[in-house]
A and B are shown apart, each in its own frame.
Chain A
Amino acid sequence: MAAREPPDKAKPEHVVARIVRSLFVIHCAFLAAAGGFLALAELSPYLASLKAEMAKSDTALPLCYLVWVISHGARRLMKAKVAADLKAVREENRRKGKRR
C-alpha cells in the first residue's frame, strides 16, 4: 500500500489555502442557498411575500449574510475540533497497529 502520510496542514501556505477555501465555500454556499430560496419563492406564496418584503428592505440581505457567515463559521470551528480529535484517534490506533 502506498505511504499514507497526510500533507502537513500546519504549514503557513496550507493554512492560508484552507482559509481562502473556507471563505470560498461559505460564499458559494450562501449564493446556492439564496438561489434555492428564490426558486422556492416561485412555488410558495409565503416565501414569495417574504421575498417581496426583503426586496423593500435595505438591511435584510446583509442581515441574512451575517447570520449565515456566523452560523457557517461556528460549524466550521466545530468541525475543525472534531477533525482534530478524529486525527488523534487515528494516529493513536495507527501507532498501535505498527507496534503489533
Chain B
Amino acid sequence: MIGPFLPLLIGIVALFAILILGDLLAHPYRRELAAMGEKMISSRHFTESERSAIDLMLSASTSFLTGFLFILLPFFFLFDLVRGRVDKSQPPVETRGQIGRFVMLAIISVFAANPFAGLIWLPLYGLLVAVAAIGHVSSSGQLLRAFSRSIRLRRAVHL
C-alpha cells in the first residue's frame, strides 16, 4: 500500500529532519547571538540605528520566512553601495569586532532556520563581502543595515 509512495514519504520526513537538525546544531550559536545581542543593545557604544537593527535581528533570526527574505539582502546591499549610501567611518575596534561576530552568528541562525533559501543567498553573500572589501566598506555594518531592511520589509507586509 505504502510501497510506491515510500520515497515521497521519506522525502517529506527528510525535509523536516534537515530543518530540525539545523535548529539543533545552530542552538549554541543562537544562544550566543541572543546573549551578545542583548548586551549590545544595552551598551552605549552602539548607535540608535544599530541597536534597533540588532533588536530586529534577534526577534527574526530563527524564522523560516526570514531565510527567504535574505535572498533580497544582496540587492539591498548593492543598492546602498551603488547609491553611495555607505558609512566609511571607522567605528572603534571593539565595536567593529562585536558587530562582525553578531552578523556572523545571525547568518548562521538564519541559514539554519532555512537552509534551502540559504543555499541561494550564501554564495551571493561571499561575493558581497569581496565587493565591500574592494570598496573599503565595513561589510558587517552594511549587512546589519541590509538585515534590518529585509526584516522591516517583512513586518511591513505582515508576514
Q: Which residues of A contact B (CB under 8 A)?
A: 1, 4, 33, 37, 50, 53-54, 57, 59-60, 63-64, 67-68, 71-72, 74-75, 78-79, 82-83, 85-86, 89-90, 92-94, 96-98, 100
Contact = CB atoms under 8 A, between A and B. Distances in A.
Nearest to A79: B23
A21 to B, nearest CB: 11
Nearest to A78: B20
The bracket for how many chain B residues form the interface is: 20 to 34
Contact of B9 (A1, A37, A63, A72): A63
Interface string B96-112: 00000000000000000
Interface string B1-45: 110110111001101100110011001001100110111011100
Interface of B: 1-2, 4-5, 7-9, 12-13, 15-16, 19-20, 23-24, 27, 30-31, 34-35, 37-39, 41-43, 48, 51-52, 55, 58, 62
B62 A86 contact: yes
Given A50-B4, A78-B23, A97 B9 contact: no
A75 B20 contact: yes
16 contacts: A1-B48, A53-B4, A57-B4, A60-B5, A63-B2, A63-B9, A64-B12, A67-B9, A68-B12, A75-B16, A78-B23, A82-B62, A89-B31, A94-B38, A97-B38, A97-B43
Given A59-B1, A79-B62, A94 B42 contact: yes
- Sort A-B residue pairs by CB-CB distance and give the 8 closest, nearest first: A97-B42, A93-B38, A71-B16, A89-B34, A53-B4, A90-B34, A93-B35, A86-B34
Contacts of A90: 34-35, 37-38, 58
